[in-house]
Amino acid sequence: MCGIIGYTGSKKSVPILIEGLRTLEYRGYDSAGVTVAEGGCLSTVKSKGRLTDLEGKLKRNAELTGSCGIGHTRWATHGEPSDTNSHPHTTDNLALVHNGIIENYAEIEEMLRGAGYAFVSETDTERAAKLLDMLFVKSGDPLDAIRRATKVIRGSYAFGIIFKGYEDVIYAVRKDSPLIVAHNDEGGFIASDIPAILKHSTSYYRLDEGVIAKISKSSLEFCDLSLTPVEQKLETIDWNIEQAQKGGYPHFMIKEIHEEPEAIRKTLEPRIKDGLPHFGIDALDGDLLSSFDSIHIVACGTAMHAGLVGKAIIEKLARVPVNVEIASEFRYRDPILRKNDLVILLSQSGETADTLAALRHSKACGVYTLAIVNVIGSSVAREADSVLYTWAGPEIAVASTKAYSVQCALLYLLAIRMALANHKLDEANARHICDMMLQKIPSAVEKALTLSDKIYDVATMLVAAEHLFYIGRDIDYALSVEASLKLKEISYIHSEAYAAGELKHGTISLITDGIPVVALTTVSNVCEKTVSGIREVKSRGAYVVSVCAESLVGKYDIPCDEMLVIPDIDEILAPFPAATVMQLLAYHVSALKGLDVDKPRNLAKSVTVE
């Protein structure tokens, strides 16, 4: 998604803007630009392409030395990547950067054309800029102009604005798209995300919906849309810059996979008290969890796949029906929601527009909403009735790994807590599972990480594949779905996850000589059936990679070309090391292909548009 940075203070702004935008590159972009208040003017330089292209242009122009500026990296939504369509967008009276989508931009354009405005770009953002311009010309007051504009604009936005005549002040306002504000003796900052300001401040404000920030070198003020002063909560970042950087690993993704044991431990430990699940730290009344007749897990992508694991474990332990929904489908299909239903929203970023929309729909239907989110204070977290934070730390790689694992860990804890409340699990068994989770999951994932070299060898056999299948049954099928997405999104190899028992109903026609099939067998009571499926594909020439639980190795004669053995752990917890093995496999294939593992083509870390 787009990246926003702004600075006003005592230093030259351009170096701070460029450095901040570089930390936001992981969000994905196709153009970039800056505007600097320079001698009473607003000077703008912007360029299609990478930040290096923008820096080249800056070097070819007269140096911009002003100490108040805004910068932007654009992920195109309206209008192709081009110099003209890139931000900041300027008028005679202001410069604006934007993250989000203005849904009624055509209506705004028509009104503005009637007021004599013309347009140079295809973007919705330029329409917003010129709306603000018209309102600012009328009122002469930036805050009033912003207030009025927010009444007209429909859609999502995070705006950073500099007005003529107020060239040392940055104004910011947001709806749906995140924006943070920081202030210290260097001056004031705005940014789309924490890494952009991390070098300058370890505390920040996450701007509330409908709050306008007015930032100058020496002051920081917030007001609501009636221009009444308001307070914002100061958050502290417990990440250091190194943590948000790669820490010596070649890619963020591999670093984050290696962080899984610690992330799982950090997420579980505060929520297991006297050996049982306890959500006091989340201000979540565990007894509440027994009041729900059915559960809807709603999310996107990898988060939705964590929901598939959650479905399997909640239904297994708590015997509460769970349906997993794709967030972008959820609200448009008029879902059947009853008052005793629970909607669980899973999201690493907490800013995924589809998931946020599903949350709001659920609340509008009067259903209780519980969010499981990694980014503290994000929109999904703040708008849900309750939130369980995953403490995985920053996940920078576009491909989600540790967030998936800790989401699954929390879903396991919820399953145990619900099973206890529903008398489907006695305390002794609940304690046993909780104890195993704490003691064995981190160590089993650590062991899975030691398989990296073996997994690398297997990856070398897959790197040339054009098509690849993952198969499994029961929770192994849920794991296969995520394994397939991981491979697709970072290696660009077409892959498909299939319920092992379903292959013979059609898709097996695609199995020919050399087609790789990765077969997961960690669930003992369906292993024999999966092995039959493996024989079916092997006999048709498939190149089979068996991913088998240690406890099942040797119990069945699995015809395979390669075998990856999942470190020994109680079967119910096998998904955790198995997921790590699958993530490593995808990672190595992508790295072997020399691809941009952390920033795959076409993808963004947080999809804040529907």
Active site residues: 2, 605
Part of the chain binding ligand AGP (CB under 6 A), chosen from 60-68, 84-92, 183-191, 392-400: 392-400
Nearest CA-CA partner of 93 in 135, 156, 147, 151: 135
Stretch 21-40 residues interacting with ligand AGP (CB under 6 A): none
Cis peptide leading into residue 195 (ω within 30°): no
To ligand AGP, the closest distance from the beta carbon of 473 in angstroms equals 23
Secondary structure class of 603 (helix, strand, coil): coil
Part of the chain binding ligand AGP (CB under 6 A), chosen from 35-43, 235-243, 343-351, 544-552: 343-351
The count of chain residues that interact with ligand AGP, using the rule CB under 6 A, is 16
To ligand AGP, the closest distance from the beta carbon of 49 in angstroms equals 23
Part of the chain binding ligand AGP (CB under 6 A), chosen from 164-172, 341-349, 381-389, 572-580: 341-349
Helix (H) or strand (E) holding 157, with range, is strand 157-163
Part of the chain binding ligand AGP (CB under 6 A), chosen from 93-101, 256-264, 550-558, 601-609: 601-609
Q: Which residue number places its CB atom closest to ligand AGP?
A: 301
Part of the chain binding ligand AGP (CB under 6 A), chosen from 75-83, 179-187, 507-515, 600-608: 600-608
CA 311 to chain centre: 21
For tokens 């499926």, name the residue. Answer: 533
Residue 373, phi then psi, degrees to nearest 5: -135, 150
Across 200-339, where does the E strand assignment appear? 203-206, 211-215, 220-224, 234-236, 272-273, 276-277, 294-299, 322-326
To ligand AGP, the closest distance from the beta carbon of 489 in angstroms equals 6
**Which CB sits closer to ligand AGP, 13 or 608?**
608
Both tokens assigned to 592: 């072997």
To ligand AGP, the closest distance from the beta carbon of 361 in angstroms equals 16
Part of the chain binding ligand AGP (CB under 6 A), chosen from 75-83, 294-302, 381-389, 424-432: 294-302
271: left (phi over 0), alpha (psi -120 to 50) or beta: alpha
> What is the distance between the alpha carbons of residues 180 and 166, in angstroms, rounded to a whole number?
21
Part of the chain binding ligand AGP (CB under 6 A), chosen from 65-73, 76-84, 491-499, 602-610: 602-610
To ligand AGP, the closest distance from the beta carbon of 388 in angstroms equals 14
The residue from 43, 267, 386, 606 that contacts ligand AGP (CB under 6 A) is: 606
**Which CB sits closer to ligand AGP, 572 or 582?**
582
To ligand AGP, the closest distance from the beta carbon of 481 in angstroms equals 11
Stretch 295-324 residues interacting with ligand AGP (CB under 6 A): 300-303
Stretch 472-501 residues interacting with ligand AGP (CB under 6 A): 489
Stretch 394-453 residues interacting with ligand AGP (CB under 6 A): 398-400
> What is the distance between the alpha carbons of residues 404 and 582, in angstroms, rounded to a whole number?
12
**Which CB sits closer to ligand AGP, 436 or 603?**
603
Q: Residue 353: CB partners within 8 Å, gap ≥ 6? A: 156, 176, 607, 608, 609, 610
To ligand AGP, the closest distance from the beta carbon of 398 in angstroms equals 5
> What is the distance between the alpha carbons of residues 73 and 185, in angstroms, rounded to a whole number?
26
Both tokens assigned to 377: 């204070």
To ligand AGP, the closest distance from the beta carbon of 195 in angstroms equals 15
Stretch 346-365 residues interacting with ligand AGP (CB under 6 A): 347-349, 352, 355
**Which CB sits closer to ligand AGP, 166 or 252?**
252
**Which CB sits closer to ligand AGP, 300 or 441?**
300
Q: Using the CB atoms, write b or e for 437-469: b if 16+ within 10 Å.
A: bbebbbebbbbbbebbeebbebbeebeebeebb
Residues forming a β-bridge with 206: 180
> What is the distance between the alpha carbons of residues 163 and 233, in angstroms, rounded to a whole number?
26
> What is the distance between the alpha carbons of residues 194 and 239, in angstroms, rounded to a whole number?
9
Question: If binding is defined by CB under 6 A, does position 468 make contact with ligand AGP?
Answer: no
Q: Could you count the other beta carbons within 10 Å of the beta carbon of residue 584?
A: 27
To ligand AGP, the closest distance from the beta carbon of 351 in angstroms equals 7
**Which CB sits closer to ligand AGP, 89 or 486?**
486
Residue 136, phi then psi, degrees to nearest 5: -70, -40
> What is the distance between the alpha carbons of residues 366 and 361, in angstroms, rounded to a whole number?
9
Secondary structure letter of residue 10 according to DSSP: S
Question: If binding is defined by CB under 6 A, does position 167 make contact with ligand AGP?
Answer: no
Secondary structure class of 431 (helix, strand, coil): helix
**Which CB sits closer to ligand AGP, 127 or 402?**
402
Q: Using the CB atoms, write b or e for 367-376: b if 16+ within 10 Å.
A: bbbbbbbbbb
Question: If binding is defined by CB under 6 A, does position 607 make contact with ligand AGP?
Answer: yes
- Binding site residues, ligand AGP, CB under 6 A: 300-303, 347-349, 352, 355, 398-400, 489, 603, 606-607
